[in-house]
Amino acid sequence: MQKLYYGGDIVTMREETDAPEAVLVTDGKISYVGELAEARRQCLPGAEEIDLEGKTLMPSFIDPHSHIAMLAQYTDFANLGKCTSFKDLAVTLSDWLKEKRLAEGEVLVGYGYDHNFLDEQQHPTKEVLDRVSDTIPVCILHTSGHMCVANSVLLRECGITADTPDPEGGKFGREEDGTPNGYIEEVPAMVKVLIPVFSRVKADFARQLEKAQQIYLKYGITTVQDGSTNASGFQKLAECAKGQVFHLDVVSYVLADDLEKTAEDYPEYYQKYHNRLKIGGAKIILDGSPQGRSAWLRKPYEGEETYCGYPAHTQEETDRWVETAVEKGYQLLAHCNGDAASGQYLAAFEKAAAKTPENPEKIRALRPVMIHCQTVGDDQLDEMKELGMIPSIFVAHTWYWGDVHLKNLGSVRGAHISPARAAMERGLIYNFHQDTPVVEPDMLHTVWCAVNRVTRSGKPIGQEQCIGVYEALKGVTIHGAYAYHEEERKGTLEAGKLADMVILDRNPLKTDKMQIRDIQVLETIKEGKTLYTRCPPYSVFKVLSIDELL
C-alpha cells in the first residue's frame, strides 16, 4: 500500500532548510523523500495521492517522559484542575460523588488540584474533604503527583494516626498535637493511602488506555512513555498489549527495584517492542516538586534560612541503582527537580565511571536521562556532557509555574529554570516533555514555551534561555527518538524510517513565535495509518475532546 503526500510544506527535521516536494510511504515506512516527479515515478498502480492543500507535514511528536497508565486511571477520576478555592474542591467532588453513585467499599478520587492557584494559597486538609463525605473514603491528588490529601475516613482505614512516624523521604501533615491533618507529601508517605485506594477503584484498564491514547493522538504523539511502572503495573500493561490495545508505541521504565524480576517474567518486552510495548530501562525518583517546595536544592528556598527540601533516597541507594544499571547494561532515568538531587545522580554516575576504564564509554552508550532538570546548574550540565547524559526538560514549567518559581527560588534561580539554551550550547541532546498527567501532552505549547519563556501572568522568565523554533522542534522529534535509542527508525522524515507523521494547519517555522501554541494538529499518522483526524470519518477512534475524556 502506498500513499504520496505533496502540495504543502514538508518539514523533515533533517535540516532546517530541507524542503522536499513530496513524501512517499510504502507499507508503513517512508520509501522516498524528494521531488514530486520522482515520487510519482516510484508509485505503484493504485497508490493514493494526498494533496496537503498548503498544510504542513512533519514527523509525529515523541513523548520522552509521561505516565500513560496514570493518565488512563485519571480518566475515571474527578478533575480538580479548574478549582480555585476549597469550596470549589468540595463542590466538584460532591457533584462527582452524586454522578458516580459509588457502591459500598469504593473510594472517591480527584486529581489535579494545585494549592498555588487556590484562593487560600495552601493545601486543603481532611476538614475540606470531610465536607464531601464522612462515610466514603476520599483522596485527592496534587497536580504534581507529589502530594495528596485524605479525608478522616481514609486516614482511619489506613491506620494513620498521631503515632504514625514520617517515613524517610516523605511527610504527614499534622495538627499541633501531632494528629494527621490529611495532607501527605511524597511517595514514601503517599503509598500508605494510595495502595489501598487504587486497589478499591473499579476500572476497565483496557478501556481507560484506549481513552488515554486518544489524548496523545490529539496532540500528534505516536510514541509515549510509562515513566514509573511497578511490577503489577507492567503486568497490566502486558495484558493490554497481548489484547492488542496499543495503537501507539509505549515505552515502560520500570521502577529500579522491580526491573530485574519484571524483565525475567516478560523477556519478550525487554528492550524491544512486542505488540507495541517495550521495557526501555529503569526509573528512580530522587526528590520532589519545586512548586510544592519538596524538591531538594543546594541552597535554601527563598525566605528560608536552612530549608532546602529533602532527598527521596540516600546517596548509597542511588549509587547501587546506578552501578547495577551500568553493570547490567540498561538505561536509567532519574527524576531530579532540585539541583541537589541532580548532584546526587551525577555523583553516582561519576563513581560508576571511575570503576573501570570501559565504564565511561559504556555509560555514554546507555544514554542515562535526567528527568525534569528544573534547577540544574550550568556546572552540572557540564558534568552531564562528560557522561553523555540526556537532559529531559519540563520546559512548560516556565508557563505553568514560572511565577511560583520566581517566588520560591528568587529572581536569579527562578529565571534559570528549564535551561534549554544552556543545554543546547553545550551540545547536549536535550528533549522536552510534559510529565502527563501533570499537564496535557501538548507538544506545540511546549515548543511555544521553549521559544518564548513567558509565565501565566505574562512575565518574561529567563529570556536568555530561549531557543529557536527549529531547535525546540528537535526536542519533541529526533531528540526524543534518540533518548529511546530509536533515532534510526523515528524522528525525521527520510527513507527507511517509520511513517510516523503529523499534519499541521500551518508551518511552525513560518509562524509568528507567539502564535505557535495556536497551531492545530489536523491528522496523526502511525506507520502510514491515520489514527486521528479532526474531521470524520475516524480511522481508529471516535476522537473526543479533553474535557469529554477527563
Alpha-carbon distance 243 to 124, whole Å? 41
Categorize the per-residue pLDDT at 535 as very low, low, confident or very high, splitting at 50, 70 and 90. Answer: confident
pLDDT value at 465 more than 50: yes
Residue 49 CA: distances (Å) to CA of 5, 20, 273: 6, 16, 31
286 half-sphere exposure, CB direction, 13 A CA radius: 32
Instruction: Give the pairing type, strands 180-185 and 171-174.
Output: antiparallel
Categorize the per-residue pLDDT at 536 as very low, low, confident or very high, splitting at 50, 70 and 90. Answer: low
pLDDT in tens, 29-54: 999 999 999 999 999 999 999 999 99
Neighbouring C-beta atoms of residue 188, cutoff 10 Å = 17
Mean pLDDT, rounded, for 58-77? 96
**Element at 290 (helix H, strand E):** none
pLDDT in tens, 217-258: 999 999 999 999 999 999 999 999 999 999 999 999 999 999
What DSSP letter does each residue of 99-141 carry, written as one string? HHTPPTT--EEEEEE-GGGSTT-S---HHHHHTT-SSS-EEEE
Rg of the Cα atoms in the chain? 23
* Cα dihedral across residues 253, 254, 255, 257: positive or negative: negative
Alpha-carbon distance 456 to 143, whole Å? 16
- Taking every pair of Cα atoms in the chain, the longest distance, rounded to a whole number of angstroms, is 81
User: Which CATH number applies to 77-199: 3.40.50.620, 3.10.310.70, 3.40.50.300, 2.60.40.770?
Assistant: 3.10.310.70
428 half-sphere exposure, CB direction, 13 A CA radius: 31
Report the topology of domain 205-533.
TIM Barrel (3.20.20)
Residue 192 CA: distances (Å) to CA of 55, 77, 148: 51, 19, 11
Q: What is the percent of the chain where pLDDT is above 70?
A: 97
Q: Are 531 and 249 in contact (CB under 8 A)?
A: no
What's the grid cell of residue 480?
526524543
Lowest-confidence segment of 131-135, 213-217, 542-546 by average pLDDT:
542-546
Residue 238 CA: distances (Å) to CA of 216, 231, 264, 282: 20, 11, 13, 17
Q: Torsion over CA of 312, 313, 319 and 321, rounded to 10 degrees?
A: -80
- The owner of cell 541507594 is 317
Q: What's this model's pTM, rounded to 2 decimal places?
A: 0.92
What's the grid cell of residue 394?
519540563
Q: Where are the domains of the chain?
A: 77-199, 205-533
Q: Are 7 and 54 in contact (CB under 8 A)?
A: yes
pLDDT in tens, 387-446: 999 999 999 999 999 999 999 999 999 999 999 999 999 999 999 999 999 999 999 999
Cis amide prior to 437 (ω within 30 degrees)? yes
Q: Which of 359, 453, 364 is nearest to 400 (CA)?
A: 453
Neighbouring C-beta atoms of residue 243, cutoff 10 Å = 11
Categorize the per-residue pLDDT at 182 as very low, low, confident or very high, splitting at 50, 70 and 90. Answer: very high
